[in-house]
Amino acid sequence: MPVHRPTHRPHPPRRPMLSAAGTLLAALSLLLALPFAAQAAGTGGTATADIPARGSASMGMGVIEHDGQGGLPPDTRAVQTEGVDVSSHQGNVAWSTLWSSGVKWAYVKATEGTYYKNTYFTQQYNGSYNVGMIRGSYHFATPDTTSGATQANYFLDNGGGWSRDGKTLPGALDIEWNPYGTDCYGKTQSGMVSWIKSFLDQYKARTGRDAVIYTSTSWWKLCTGNYSGFASANPLWIARYNTTVGELPAGWSYQTMWQYTSTGPTVGDHNKFNGALDRVQALANG
């Protein structure tokens, strides 16, 4: 009698189902990880590709992003003297064109942190002087890299000095929105005040002059707690691209200089000195 064996149908292969599930899980994990990766980068969600190269910062590069941009200030009866600020972004500057347009003073970026020197500094610093302008130099601060005193020394050793020749303005500390990471460079408000004081004290110890402070009110309030202790000694250079200068940081009742636009003629960054040319000369002479 023949033997009948049961027939077993083979189970369908499971590999494709497992593979699809694994792919889905991997995709979900990647999506969940993205916000944490952005936070870990310390950029507030900004992609790494959007962070500029170290050394490329210039005055006011974060102003429009944080404070917006309005119209140009109207002509008034108040006497003000036109000026510009420049960095390597401008390359070789047409100083005679600026002079002919009414620009009488200029600030030139000299240094950043302790790792960068403006490659166009000589043409810009000497060129402005040679056409008759009163000029000075500025330092872009990076409080997350080295101490204030260390950066003041680097600035002074690389173009940030001062002399009483009637045509050299005191050095300016450019302290503003961090283009490379967190807004306040990872410092507490008291820590930031201490850093700024360290820079200013060292600058004065070596030159006998109080440095100018360039900043925006919004940054100053956020990162120093609206500290008022520098107002009695250090001239204020305020950044605000609008029809009026607006609110000033605590302690200052007026600004010495006002950067009012980044889209001016010949050179983008234009400024108004709060007074006639003789007041610019007075600041230069100390």
Strand, helix or coil at 146?
coil
Partner residues linked to 214 by β-bridges: 174, 237
Separation of alpha carbons 201 and 156, rounded Å = 13
Is 85 among the residues known to form the active site?
Answer: yes
Q: Which of 85, 157, 201, 210 is flagged as catalytic? A: 85
| Sequence-separated contacts (24+) of 220-226 with Cβ below 8 Å | 220/249, 221/249, 222/183, 222/184, 223/183, 223/184, 223/185, 223/187, 223/189, 223/192, 224/189, 224/192, 224/193, 224/196, 224/249, 225/189, 225/190, 225/193, 226/250
Is 176 among the residues known to form the active site?
Answer: yes
Q: Which of 67, 112, 174, 269 is flagged as catalytic? A: 174
User: What count of other Cβ atoms lies within 10 Å of the Cβ of residue 117?
Assistant: 16
Sign of CA dihedral 228, 108, 114, 151: negative
Is 174 among the residues known to form the active site?
Answer: yes
Q: Which of 67, 82, 112, 176 is flagged as catalytic? A: 176
Known catalytic residues?
85, 174, 176
